[in-house]
């Protein structure tokens, strides 16, 4: 069947259309159109919604809500989303960032999905017409997920509380060897009071480094202070092997890069 | 097959076409309209040869459906020269010997144009970042970086 | 870039008008304005799109091919299999009496690498061709495959290609191309040190920004015009003529403006089947590799293994060098037997060594057939040779650059393949490198010349 | 963590033209009625600038500015045979064919000029600007424009020429391998400086200093293009490129420019290019083929620099961070 695009004003109608066989939601096109170009004939109906809410960024009451159709470029240049700029700029080159959306990034398989790693560290909620889900729950079930993601929302940490690192072979733009996002709270004495660390490429989708997080609590961000966390960084990981790197290599350098990020 | 109407301006002139739904902008420009300056180097979004400017933003025409461009203003490298006079970027690419096979050139020029439109005096790092989605296999990039820096200097001299 | 005119000024005329001048390139204005016409910038009304159905297996027998559903698919105009190709033999180097006829245009009975072309689908749109390609049913009996050159050369290894009867190319000199010069064993026996090392590479893709392809238009007079990005016009025309059993006078090839080649566009792969499609349908046909095909289907630079054994004296002279080179041709020859023997002519590198033994093998495995690439037959050899040179210098405690001066070839020196050296300039390159890299060497090396000793 | 620095050198040579010869190329040259010159070939321009270089070679040989020459190539209905563009043969083989064709055309041109000027053709020379002068008496001259008009409309002469260049095929002797692979060789020496991160195995190429000997830089800017791009490709081969990253295992081959790794514009080494010219005996104006060899010496130079930096040998290409890290770990374990 020939490919056809169906555009809907509301997410509700688009969700209804997605119930038909052979349909897929069209976000920025970087995943879906590519698949079609490459001969994936399983999709014949492309569904999209042009609901303006999908493209909105709302910052109010200490909470950030980003519409699923907001592009990486829009986030990178938003004056109040400075802490996310680095993660948004980690995606693709300039043209890809003008197209790639927040919603799409949540579905991007490793080694893609660096922005979703940042969202995982931020403990974002993922919104659909059915309500909101914690991002961890969403990512775990994303393969079977059919409902259109409408937004992500999170409480932004203090500017110095968010750290992001993407390691790639090719500069300035290359896909990830791995990416790390960390949201750290620090007590007055500098010791870590809270930690959320998310990893990209260390599994088939973004994952938390929970043992490392625990090992950081109460520790200072010094070489010795973070040593237990680095030692535990690889716990629970099952990194991908792809043309960029093997699982072995990713596991080997994860503590190195995590250490550099924490000490930066 | 369902045909859908699409209307946009291409390099300042109005275009209206009936296309097959699901046609990429790249194919619409090349096959329907006859502007072959955007090149199909990968159809994956990984080479940048198909780059065009849509409403002031750099886009990959291979991953953009033509029908989503209804009402848009599209610029391609074919439309840069005005009255037979080359754009400073085109001139700079010539002067720095920044083309070899030439296949990546239109995409590179599109990426560079968006950069200079927003950042008339870019740093070397800003040029590198702006070109980072475009693959060149011949030049080793340095002559292209030099071309963009040269065009920026020419612009600032003209403005002064 | 800086031209150093002080070297070789005595043998060069520098008073030319056009030569040596940095004239602007005549093709650049077309490139920067987007007006240069590449092959794919031509399209014709009613043009069909060709998509290839490829083997998902590394090695398999084809039990049956069922194209009936594909043929019924809306938009499909024609489906081609091996029986449709008039002379279904890929003949690439036959014109210069090298190439064995060991490959088919469309697989006939067997596939020998994952990605081998089996069925060609011609349809009104790319999408229809893709959909129909997915409906072609091929029943395979999977066979054992071999991927490692050393495994392939062992007795009892799966036979990759029946044409050869063994997993290596048989030269007139036997299982390898040989060079024998001096007495290499005597050289080793008299050497102060022996160093034997092994070097390896994996396949490398040309990755031109423009993928391989062609657009064919029937001219209505029984002639066909093929717009192509081949690197060799008549090579392609003449091979196509043989495959299609069609007089060359019926074929018209137009090209010459190519979006990068690097050796990747010398295989005559897309043109014959596209022209056949145009002939059988009477319609224009385009066959353009997808990026994935360019990366994994088009021939890469071969993987190579190079084993070098050297005998070296503590004073820095290399007195014996034995090189065994293996070129991983993949499942078919293409240009690999030629590339492997080019290596034999290149070793032992730009050095004068009195005792040399070279064997270069072209080995078949069940992987994508390799072929020519920039530096064909030499690039990986140079990597091996020059890392070996570094190791030898360190072995005897000598500066690596000075070590090369001691062994560098000069005019009149006899090479291992028994040609006297002419026009050498290695010494001068190293002298200049010593200067620009601030890597000082002893004055006696800076005083050397490539001109014949005593001249 | 330590960033460790090292440098390495490599020196190479490279044959010009198809191995063992036997690879012909032809050219035709003719003048238009107003003294422009057409070069007809079937050689392919892959981006290296074949068309421009053939125009410059023809112009030099005829004695006109390059912009008076048009190159029509790669149409098999009109262009005579060329073996193809590969093996560093384009400039050398086609250039020689163009010279031969242009010389023949020039001879006719001088004969017509001689008739117009009532002198002997052997007494004439060109000034490179489009005029034919009497040697020693430059006030006595005629423009090539007028000569072409005369040839076409008055004297009925075709200012044209045919060129063919063929290095006879060499057949290797079976037992000794005695053979003639090539008639001329280009040369290079490269010094590379690298930094290696000994915790991750990542390599940064800081500088490459390349000295190339290429016979003759027919167009220095175009030679520079090829040498700079080639140097980049050499580094790319050394550190990044493979279609089968886990060779001989066939899995995980890259299918796009994200997975097939090459240095990006942010990975460029500071690159120096020095060119020496020792004209080759049989090259067009002494030129050799630099297109392939320019990408070779960086590979071993980088490999040797990595060893110099961290003391491990990576004898398998590409020299990936993983291979270095594994070697460093093995080194530490010993």
Residues B73 and B8 in one domain: yes
Domain boundaries, chain A: 4-49, 52-154, 159-263
Question: In angstroms, rounded to a whole number, what is the distance separating the alpha carbons of residues D20 and D129?
Answer: 40
Contact with chain B for residue A50, Cβ under 8 A: no
Contact of D257 with chain B, judged by CB distance below 8 Å, is answered with yes
Q: How far is A203 from chain C (nearest CA, A)?
A: 25
Tokens found for residue C338: 């030629």
* Complex ipTM more than 0.90, yes or no: yes
Query: Structure tokens of D53?
Result: 């270089």
pLDDT of residue A159: 76
- B7/B75 same-domain check: yes
- Same structural domain, B115 and B154: yes
d(CA D325, CA A196): 29
- Which residues of chain B does C208 touch, with a Cβ-Cβ cutoff of 8 Å? 101, 103, 137
**pLDDT tens-place string over residues B9-65:** 999 999 999 999 999 999 999 999 999 999 999 999 999 999 999 999 999 999 999
Predicted confidence (pLDDT) at residue C454 exceeds the cutoff of 70? no
Q: What is the gyration radius of the CA atoms in chain A, in angstroms?
A: 19
**Full domain range(s) for residue B99:** 88-159
CA D77 – CA C229 distance, rounded (Å): 16
Query: In CATH, what number does A52-154 get?
Result: 3.30.465.10
Do the Cβ atoms of D248 and C148 come within 8 Å? yes
What is the rounded average pLDDT for all residues in chain A? 96
Residues of D in contact with B47 (CB under 8 A): 257
Spatial distance between the Cα atoms of C334 and C321, rounded to a whole number of angstroms: 30
Residues B35 and B98 grouped into a single domain: no
Is C309 in a helix, a strand, or coil?
strand
Cis peptide bond prior to D248, omega within 30° of 0: yes
Q: Single out the residue of C357, C383, C191, C215 nearest to residue C304, CA to CA.
A: C383
A39–C130 CB contact, under 8 Å: yes
Using CB atoms within 10 A of its CB, is residue B101 exposed (0-12), middle (13-18) or buried (19+)?
buried
Sheet with B3-10: list strands edge to edge.
B13-20, B3-10, B73-75, B51-54, B57-60
Q: Which pLDDT belongs to residue B112?
A: 98
Cβ of D83 and C232 within 8 Å? yes
Share of chain C above pLDDT 90, in %: 96
Q: Which domains are present in chain C?
A: 48-142+212-288 (3.90.1170.50), 177-200+299-446 (3.30.365.10)
pLDDT over 80 at B1, yes or no: no
Statement: residue C453 has pLDDT above 80: no
Q: What mean pLDDT is predicted for residues C432-452?
A: 97
CA–CA dist A50, A52 (Å, integer): 6
Could you identify the residue written with the tokens 């260390």? A202
C99 at the D interface (CB within 8 A)? Answer: no
Cβ atoms of D79 and D73 within 8 Å: the answer is yes
The question of whether D292 is a catalytic residue gets the answer yes
Predicted local distance difference test score (pLDDT) of residue D1: 62
Contact D106, D62 (CB under 8 A): yes
Residue C9 has pLDDT above 80, yes or no: yes
Q: Which residue blocks in chain A are alpha helix, DSSP H? A: 11-17, 32-37, 72-77, 82-89, 94-97, 102-107, 114-121, 135-140, 210-216, 223-231, 247-263
Nearest to C212 by CA among C281, C163, C271: C271
Choice among D111, D244, D292, D322 that is catalytic: D292
Q: Can you list the pairs that D240-243 forms with residues at least 24 positions away whose Cβ atoms lie under 8 Å?
A: D240/A169, D240/A170, D240/D318, D240/D320, D241/C204, D241/C205, D241/C207, D241/D318, D242/C201, D242/C202, D242/C203, D242/C204, D242/D317, D242/D318, D243/C202, D243/C203, D243/C204, D243/C205, D243/C295, D243/C296, D243/C300, D243/C368
pLDDT at position C98 over 70: no
Q: In the prediction, which pLDDT does B156 show?
A: 80
Q: Which residues face A66 on adjacent strands? A: A57, A152
Which residues of B have a CB under 8 Å from any CB of D? 42, 44, 46-47, 97, 100-103, 125, 127-129, 131-132, 135, 137-145
**Which CATH architecture is the domain A159-263 placed in?**
2-Layer Sandwich (3.30)
Q: Which residues of chain D have pLDDT under 50?
A: none
Q: Which of D196, D203, D260, D322 to mutate to test the interface with A (most CBs of A within 10 A)?
A: D322
Q: Of B61, B79, B97, which one is at a domain's C-terminal end?
A: B79
Looking at chain A, which subunits does it touch, using at least 3 CB pairs closer than 8 Å as the criterion? Answer: B, C, D
List Cα–Cα distances, A126 to A129, A136, A181, in angstroms. Answer: 10, 9, 18
Q: Is D266 on the interface with B (CB under 8 A)?
A: yes
Please return the burial class of D13, using the count of CB atoms within 10 Å of its CB with bins 0-12, 13-18 and 19+: buried
Residue with tokens 């200067």: C435
Label residue D42 exposed, middle or buried (CB < 10 Å: 0-12, 13-18, 19+). buried
What pLDDT is stored for residue B155 in this prediction? 82
Q: What angle do CA C120, C121, C127 make, to 5 degrees?
A: 135
Let me know: does A20 contact A12? Beta carbons within 8 Å: no
Alpha-carbon Rg for chain B in angstroms: 16
Is residue A193 over pLDDT 90? yes
B67 touches chain A (CB under 8 A): yes
Counting the structural domains of chain B, the total is 2
Q: Is the pTM of this model over 0.95?
A: yes
Q: How far is CA A256 from CA A241, A244, B147, in A?
A: 19, 18, 38
Looking only at the bridges linking them, the beta strands covering C177-181 and C356-364 are antiparallel
Q: Is D47 left (phi over 0), alpha (psi -120 to 50) or beta?
A: left
Query: Quick check: C328 pLDDT over 60?
Result: yes
Final residue of a structural domain among B79, B96, B123: B79
Query: Residue B138: pLDDT band by 50, 70, 90 thresholds?
Result: very high
Which chains are within 8 Å of C by 3+ CB pairs? Answer: A, B, D
Q: Which residues of B touch A17 (CB under 8 A)?
A: none
Q: Which residues of D touch C4 (CB under 8 A)?
A: 274-276
Output the domain CATH number for residue B120.
Answer: 1.10.150.120
Name the residue among C130, B29, C286 with its Cα closest to residue A43. C130
Q: Which domains does chain D have, with CATH numbers?
A: 3-16+184-333 (3.30.365.10), 25-165 (3.30.365.10)
CB D82 within 8 A of CB C234: yes
Beta strands C60-66 and C137-142, pairing class:
antiparallel
B95-112: average pLDDT = 98
Query: Residue B159: what pLDDT?
Result: 65
B71 lies in the same domain as B129: no
Q: Is the pLDDT of residue C93 over 80?
A: no
User: Quick check: C202 contacting A, CB < 8 Å?
Assistant: no
B117: enclosing H helix or E strand: helix B105-118
Same fold flag, A52-154 and A159-263: no
- B97 and B56 together in one domain: no
Per-residue pLDDT reduced to its tens digit, C55-80: 999 999 999 999 999 999 999 999 99
CA contacts within 13 A on the Cβ side of B5: 4
On whether the CB atoms of residues B119 and B126 are closer than 8 A, the answer is yes
Instruction: Calculate how close chain D gets to C325, using CA atoms only, in Å.
Output: 14
Mean pLDDT of C375-390: 98
d(CA A87, CA A81): 11
Tell me whether residues B140 and D257 touch, CB distance under 8 A: no
CA distance B16 to B11: 13
Q: Say if residue B71 is in the same domain as residue B98.
A: no
- Taking the C-alpha atoms of residue C380 and residue D236, their distance in angstroms, rounded to an integer, is 13
What pLDDT sits at residue A146?
Answer: 86
The Cα–Cα gap between A52 and D221 comes to 52
Sequence-distant (≥ 6) Cβ neighbours of residue B157 within 8 angstroms = none
Does B34 share its domain with B69? yes
Give the list of residues 6+ apart from residue C385 with CB closer than 8 angstroms, or none: C306, C308, C347, C348, C349, D12, D300
Q: Which residue of B has its CA nearest to D232?
A: B140
| Residue D128: both structure tokens together | 């490179």
Q: Residue C358 and residue C344: Cα distance in Å, rounded?
A: 6
Decide if A5 and B65 are in contact by the 8 Å CB cutoff. yes
Q: How many other CB atoms are there within 10 angstroms of residue D334's CB atom?
A: 5
Q: Is the pLDDT at C97 greater than 70, yes or no?
A: no
| Chain Cα centroid distance, residue B100 | 17
Report the run of H or E that residue D328 belongs to, with start and end.
Answer: helix D321-333
DSSP state of C308: E
Alpha-helical segments (H) within C137-209: 149-153, 184-190
Domain final position from B79, B97, B118: B79
Other CB atoms within 10 A of residue C141 CB: 10
Q: Are the C-beta atoms of residues C243 and C89 closer than 8 Å to each other?
A: yes
Both B100 and B123 in one domain: the answer is yes
Is A43's Cβ below 8 Å from some Cβ in B?
Answer: no
Rounded to the nearest angstrom, the minimum Cα separation between A241 and chain C is 18
Estimate the crossing angle of helix C379-395 against helix C336-346, to 10 degrees: 30
Closest to A204 in 3D by CA, of A234, A177, A238:
A238
User: Is 80 exceeded by the pLDDT of residue B125?
Assistant: yes
* Centroid of chain to Cα D240: 24
């Amino acid at each position: 069947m020939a490919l056809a695009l169906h555009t809907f004003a509301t997410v509700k109608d688009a969700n209804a259309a997605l119930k038909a066989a052979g349909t897929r939601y069209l976000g920025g096109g970087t995943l879906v159109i590519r698949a079609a170009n490459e001969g994936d004939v399983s999709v014949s109906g492309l569904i999209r919604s042009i609901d303006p809410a999908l493209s909105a960024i709302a910052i109010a009451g200490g909470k950030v809500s980003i519409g699923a159709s907001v592009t990486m470029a829009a986030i990178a240049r938003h004056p109040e989303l400075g802490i996310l700029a680095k993660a948004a700029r980690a995606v693709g080159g300039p043209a890809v960032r003008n197209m790639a959306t927040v919603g799409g990034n949540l579905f991007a398989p490793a080694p893609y999905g660096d922005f979703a790693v940042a969202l995982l560290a931020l403990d974002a909620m993922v919104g659909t017409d059915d309500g909101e889900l914690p991002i961890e729950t969403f990512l775990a079930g994303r393969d079977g997920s059919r409902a259109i993601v409408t937004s992500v929302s999170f409480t932004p940490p203090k500017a110095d509380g968010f750290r992001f690192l993407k390691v790639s072979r090719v500069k300035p733009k290359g896909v990830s060897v791995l990416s790390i996002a960390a949201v750290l709270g620090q007590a007055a004495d500098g010791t870590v009071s809270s930690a959320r660390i998310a990893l990209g490429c260390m599994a088939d989708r973004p994952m938390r480094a929970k043992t490392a997080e625990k090992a950081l609590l109460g520790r200072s961000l010094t070489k010795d202070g973070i040593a237990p966390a680095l030692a535990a960084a690889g716990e629970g990981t099952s990194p991908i092997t792809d043309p960029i790197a093997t699982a072995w290599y990713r596991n080997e350098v994860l503590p190195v890069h995590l250490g550099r990020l924490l000490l930066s | 097959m369902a045909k859908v109407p699409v209307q946009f301006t291409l390099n300042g002139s109005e275009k209206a076409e009936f296309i097959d739904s699901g046609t990429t902008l790249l194919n619409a420009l090349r096959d329907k309209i006859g502007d072959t300056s955007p090149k199909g180097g990968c159809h994956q979004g990984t080479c940048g040869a198909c780059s065009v400017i849509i409403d002031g933003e750099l886009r990959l025409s291979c991953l953009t459906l033509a029908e989503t461009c209804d009402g848009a203003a599209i610029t391609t490298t074919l439309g840069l020269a005005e009255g037979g006079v080359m754009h400073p970027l085109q001139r700079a690419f010539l002067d720095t010997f920044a083309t070899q096979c030439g296949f990546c050139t239109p995409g590179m020029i599109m990426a560079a144009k968006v950069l200079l439109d927003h950042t008339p005096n870019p740093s070397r790092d800003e040029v590198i970042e702006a070109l980072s989605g475009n693959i060149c296999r011949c030049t080793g990039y340095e002559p292209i970086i030099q071309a963009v820096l040269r065009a920026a200097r020419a612009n600032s001299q003209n403005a002064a | 870039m800086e031209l150093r005119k002080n070297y070789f000024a005595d043998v060069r005329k520098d008073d030319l008008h056009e030569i040596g001048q940095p004239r602007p390139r005549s093709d650049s204005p077309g490139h920067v304005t987007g007006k240069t016409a590449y092959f794919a910038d031509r399209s014709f009304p009613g043009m069909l799109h060709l998509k290839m159905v490829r083997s998902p297996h590394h090695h398999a027998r084809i039990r049956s091919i069922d194209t009936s559903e594909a043929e019924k698919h809306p938009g499909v105009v024609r489906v081609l299999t091996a029986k449709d190709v008039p002379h279904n033999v890929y003949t690439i180097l036959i014109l210069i009496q090298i190439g064995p006829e060991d490959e088919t245009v469309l697989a006939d009975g067997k596939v020998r690498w994952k990605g081998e072309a089996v069925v060609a689908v011609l349809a009104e749109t790319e999408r229809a061709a893709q959909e129909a390609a997915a409906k072609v049913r091929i029943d395979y009996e999977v066979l054992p495959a071999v991927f490692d050159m050393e495994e392939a050369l062992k007795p009892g290894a799966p036979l990759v290609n029946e044409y050869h009867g063994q997993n290596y190319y048989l030269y007139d000199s036997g299982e390898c191309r040989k060079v024998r010069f001096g007495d290499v064993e005597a050289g080793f026996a008299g050497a102060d040190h022996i160093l034997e090392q092994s070097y390896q590479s994996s396949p490398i893709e040309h990755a031109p920004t423009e993928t391989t392809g062609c657009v064919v238009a029937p001219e209505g007079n029984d002639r066909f015009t093929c717009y192509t990005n081949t690197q060799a016009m008549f090579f392609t025309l003449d091979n196509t003529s043989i495959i299609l059993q069609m007089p060359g006078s019926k074929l018209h090839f137009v090209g010459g403006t190519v979006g990068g080649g690097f050796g990747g566009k010398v295989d005559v792969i897309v043109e014959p089947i596209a022209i056949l499609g145009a002939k059988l349908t009477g319609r224009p046909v385009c066959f353009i590799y997808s990026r994935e095909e360019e990366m994994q289907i088009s021939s890469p630079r071969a993987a190579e293994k190079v084993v070098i054994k050297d005998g070296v004296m503590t004073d820095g002279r290399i007195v014996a060098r034995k090189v065994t080179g293996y070129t991983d041709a993949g499942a078919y020859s293409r240009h690999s037997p030629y590339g492997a023997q080019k290596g034999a002519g290149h070793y032992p590198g730009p050095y004068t060594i009195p005792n040399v033994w070279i064997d270069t093998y072209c080995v078949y495995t069940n992987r994508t057939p390799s072929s020519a690439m920039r530096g064909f037959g030499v690039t990986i050899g140079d990597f091996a040779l020059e890392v070996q040179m570094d190791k030898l210098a360190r072995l005897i405690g000598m500066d690596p650059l000075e070590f090369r001066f001691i062994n560098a070839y000069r005019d009149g020196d006899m090479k291992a393949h028994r040609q006297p050296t002419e026009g050498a300039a290695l010494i001068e390159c190293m002298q200049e490198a010593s200067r620009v890299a601030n890597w000082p060497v002893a004055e006696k090396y800076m005083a050397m010349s490539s001109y014949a000793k005593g001249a | 963590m330590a960033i460790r620095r090292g440098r390495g050198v490599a020196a190479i040579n490279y044959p010009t033209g198809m191995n063992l010869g036997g690879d012909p190329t032809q050219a035709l040259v003719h003048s238009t009625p107003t003294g422009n010159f057409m070069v007809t070939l079937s050689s392919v321009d892959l981006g290296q600038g074949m068309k421009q270089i053939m125009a410059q070679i023809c112009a030099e040989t005829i004695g006109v500015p390059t912009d008076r020459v048009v190159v029509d190539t790669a149409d098999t209905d009109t262009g005579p045979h060329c073996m193809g563009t590969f093996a560093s043969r384009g400039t050398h083989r086609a250039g020689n064919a163009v010279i031969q064709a242009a010389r023949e055309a020039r001879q006719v041109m001088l004969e017509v000029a001689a008739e117009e000027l009532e002198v002997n053709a052997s007494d004439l020379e060109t000034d490179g600007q489009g005029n034919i002068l009497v040697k020693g008496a430059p006030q006595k001259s005629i423009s090539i424009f007028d000569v072409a008009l005369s040839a076409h409309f008055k004297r009925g002469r075709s200012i044209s020429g045919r060129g063919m260049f063929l290095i006879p095929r060499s057949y290797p002797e079976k037992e000794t391998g005695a053979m003639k692979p090539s008639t001329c060789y280009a040369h290079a020496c490269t010094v590379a400086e690298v930094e290696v991160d000994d915790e991750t195995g990542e390599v940064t190429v800081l500088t490459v200093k390349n000295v190339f000997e290429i016979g003759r830089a027919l167009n220095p800017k175009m030679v520079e293009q090829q040498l700079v791009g080639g140097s980049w490709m050499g580094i790319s081969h050394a550190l990044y490129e493979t279609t089968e990253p886990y060779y001989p295992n066939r899995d995980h081959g890259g299918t796009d420019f994200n997975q097939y790794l090459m240095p990006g514009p942010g990975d460029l080494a500071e690159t120096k290019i020095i060119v020496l010219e020792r004209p080759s005996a049989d090259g067009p104006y002494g030129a050799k083929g630099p297109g392939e060899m320019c990408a070779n010496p960086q590979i071993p130079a980088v490999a040797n620099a990595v060893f110099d930096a961290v003391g491990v040998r990576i004898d398998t290409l590409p020299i990936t961070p993983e291979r270095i890290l594994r070697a460093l770990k093995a080194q530490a374990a010993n």
